[in-house]
């Protein structure tokens, strides 16, 4: 046994391996024990304990045989050159000798400990790397916008990996490969700003989204009421009411908006990189119907091949929802984060938000100056009587800015448009533009009644809502 250690310690590489492994094992076991007792240090400690320390541990372990191999090779070369006697052969393991038995037992025990450490670290490491905190904060400033928008979305309780990876080993490996690249690109600041979208290796949505939502579950219509405010002194409230034909596959035939993702329907298309400009669209139905809708203008830079339409071609912002100043201010006025009795607040808030600022700090400061400045100049009385309202409004407007705009990542208003409608971005009208035609003149229609009934549009007090909601 002493003999073996002597051999290892005579070669510096293996010795370094032993030292690294031992220290990592001690750190790992200590931190693991601390966690078992109930202390949790958050994602960074998790990354340390289960990713970085084990990496050193394994690295050290690998160094030991590498050092021995290197030493033997050196000795062999020296013998060949006639400079040294031939190295000994591999030791004969004679279990009849007490010393050898001890060594074998010792090595076996160490191996068991190693296997336990590596298995625990792998299991916990995968868990840590799959956690939302890891994805959202490990790369720090880079992912902050995605993490922030995610936390405000309906999917704030769905883990990043459930959409970005899903279940199954092959996607896991793929994502870890691209993940390693992402880590490298963050370290060396190679990433593009803003982070480009769409994500080309995003797993087919049908394998991720459909774990929780399935087309047969959507049926019928959905009433959607949108509240907006005018830019007048009283911030007049207006309502738009839409009956969206969400549709679905319940029953035998599928209809409405979710018809596109019926298992018997395949819509595929050619498009540019960002899927904003859509070329020829092909439709294949289960009954064999096949149509090609030729685009009147082809995308300037089409990407190769066609893409089968799926959830994220419409729901491209299910989780990282960036909104526009108008929508945000309307919501804040509606739910009281901004006092709607403040004169012209709709107009002033939107104006302050739309200005360009170099940093978030500058934005916060200038937004405050703009809103307070407006009231001091135009409504000096209010500055006293409604001081609290004005202050709350300022904070809400700053909050809106900070949830949507990231000058350091070059994310300005509208950097990530949503494809779900057709008012803020082209959305549905990328195809439903009456400009995609089959040879016999059939178009992808733009009739307003195809997707929704417009029950009221920007009306101050729509009759339909009075009937629906009786106060």
Residues between 17 and 76 with contacts to ligand HEC, criterion CB under 6 A: none
Point out which residues pair with 308 in neighbouring strands. Answer: 268
Q: Return the DSSP state at 89.
A: -
Q: What Å distances lie between residue 397 and 67, 372, 394, 410, CA to CA?
A: 62, 12, 5, 20
| DSSP code string of 190-225 | ---SSPPSS-TTPPPHHHHGGGT--GGG--S-EEEE
144-170 in b/e burial notation, b at 16+ Cβ within 10 A? bbbbbbbeeeebeebbbbbbbbbeeee
Q: How far apart are CA 19 and CA 57, in angstroms?
A: 10
Q: Which C-beta is closer to ligand HEC: that of 160 or that of 345? A: 160
Q: How far apart are CA 324 and CA 226, in angstroms?
A: 14
Q: Which C-beta is closer to ligand HEC: that of 191 or that of 379? A: 191
Interaction pattern, residues 156-175, with ligand HEC; x per rule: CB under 6 A: --x-x-xxx-----------
Q: Which C-beta is closer to ligand HEC: that of 102 or that of 290? A: 290
Q: Which of residues 100-159 bind ligand HEC (CB under 6 A)?
A: 132, 135-136, 143, 146-147, 150, 154-155, 158
Interaction pattern, residues 414-443, with ligand HEC; x per rule: CB under 6 A: --x---xxxx---xx-xxx---------x-
- Based on the shown chain and the rule CB under 6 A, indicate whether residue 311 belongs to the binding site for ligand HEC: yes
- Based on the shown chain and the rule CB under 6 A, indicate whether residue 203 belongs to the binding site for ligand HEC: no
> What is the smallest separation between the CB atom of 161 and ligand HEC, expressed in angstroms?
8
Q: How far apart are CA 160 and CA 404, in angstroms?
A: 19
Q: Which stretch binds ligand HEC (CB under 6 A): 56-64, 108-116, 372-380, 451-459?
A: 451-459
Query: Which parts of 38-130 fold into alpha helices (H)?
Result: 42-47, 53-80, 98-129
> What is the smallest separation between the CB atom of 52 and ligand HEC, expressed in angstroms?
20
Q: Count of residues binding ligand HEC (CB under 6 A)?
A: 81
> What is the smallest separation between the CB atom of 150 and ligand HEC, expressed in angstroms?
4
Q: How far apart are CA 215 and CA 209, in angstroms?
A: 10
- Based on the shown chain and the rule CB under 6 A, indicate whether residue 404 belongs to the binding site for ligand HEC: no
Q: Which of residues 239-298 bind ligand HEC (CB under 6 A)?
A: 240, 242, 244-246, 255-261, 267, 269, 278, 281, 283, 293
> What is the smallest separation between the CB atom of 30 and ligand HEC, expressed in angstroms?
30
Q: Which C-beta is closer to ligand HEC: that of 157 or that of 471? A: 157
- Based on the shown chain and the rule CB under 6 A, indicate whether residue 223 belongs to the binding site for ligand HEC: no
**Backbone region of residue 61 per phi and psi (left: phi > 0; alpha: psi in -120 to 50; beta: other values):** alpha
Q: How far apart are CA 295 and CA 71, in angstroms?
A: 69
Among positive and negative, which fits the CA dihedral 465, 468, 470, 471? negative
Q: Which C-beta is closer to ligand HEC: that of 309 or that of 367? A: 309
């Amino acid at each position: 046994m002493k003999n073996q250690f002597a051999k290892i310690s005579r070669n510096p590489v293996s010795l370094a391996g032993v030292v690294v492994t031992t220290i990592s094992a001690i750190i790992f076991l200590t931190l693991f024990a601390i966690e078992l007792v109930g202390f949790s240090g958050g994602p960074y400690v998790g990354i340390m304990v289960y990713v970085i320390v084990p990496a050193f541990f394994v690295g050290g372990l690998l160094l030991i045989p590498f050092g021995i191999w290197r030493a033997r090779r050196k000795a062999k070369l020296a013998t060949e050159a006639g400079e040294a006697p031939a190295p000994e052969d591999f030791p004969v393991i004679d279990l009849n000798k007490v010393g050898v038995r001890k060594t074998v037992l010792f090595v076996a025990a160490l191996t068991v400990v190693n296997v336990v450490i590596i298995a625990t670290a792998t299991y916990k490491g995968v868990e840590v790397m799959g956690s939302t905190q890891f994805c959202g904060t490990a790369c720090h400033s880079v992912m902050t916008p995605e993490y922030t928008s995610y936390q405000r979305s309906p999917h704030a309780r769905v883990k990043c990996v459930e959409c970005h990876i899903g279940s199954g080993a092959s996607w896991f490996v793929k994502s870890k490969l691209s993940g390693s690249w992402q880590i490298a690109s963050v370290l060396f600041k190679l990433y593009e700003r803003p982070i480009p979208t769409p994500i080309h290796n995003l797993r087919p949505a049908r394998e991720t989204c459909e774990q929780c939502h399935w087309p047969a579950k959507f049926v019928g219509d959905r009433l959607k009421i949108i509240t907006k405010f005018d830019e007048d002194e009283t911030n007049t409230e207006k309502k738009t009411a839409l009956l969206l034909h969400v549709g679905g596959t319940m029953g035998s035939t599928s209809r409405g908006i979710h018809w596109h993702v019926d298992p018997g329907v395949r819509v595929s298309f050619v498009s540019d990189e960002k899927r904003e400009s859509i070329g020829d669209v092909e439709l294949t139905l289960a009954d064999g119907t096949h149509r090609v809708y030729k685009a009147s203008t082809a995308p300037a830079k089409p990407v190769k091949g066609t893409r089968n339409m799926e959830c994220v071609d419409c729901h491209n912002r299910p989780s990282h929802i960036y909104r526009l100043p108008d929508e945000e201010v309307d919501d804040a006025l509606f739910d009281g984060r901004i006092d709607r009795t403040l004169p012209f607040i709709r107009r002033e808030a939107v104006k302050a938000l739309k200005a360009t600022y170099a940093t978030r700090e500058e934005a916060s400061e200038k937004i405050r100056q703009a809103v307070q400045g407006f009231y001091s100049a135009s409504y000096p009385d209010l500055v006293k009587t409604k001081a609290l309202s004005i202050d709350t409004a300022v904070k809400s407007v700053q909050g809106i800015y900070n949830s949507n705009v990231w000058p350091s990542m070059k994310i300005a208003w509208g950097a990530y448009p949503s494809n779900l409608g057709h008012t803020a971005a082209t959305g549905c009208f990328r195809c439903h533009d009456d400009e995609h035609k089959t040879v016999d003149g059939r178009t992808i229609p733009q009739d307003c009644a195809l997707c929704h009934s417009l029950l009221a549009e920007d009306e101050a007090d729509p009759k339909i809502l009075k009937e629906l909601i009786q106060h």
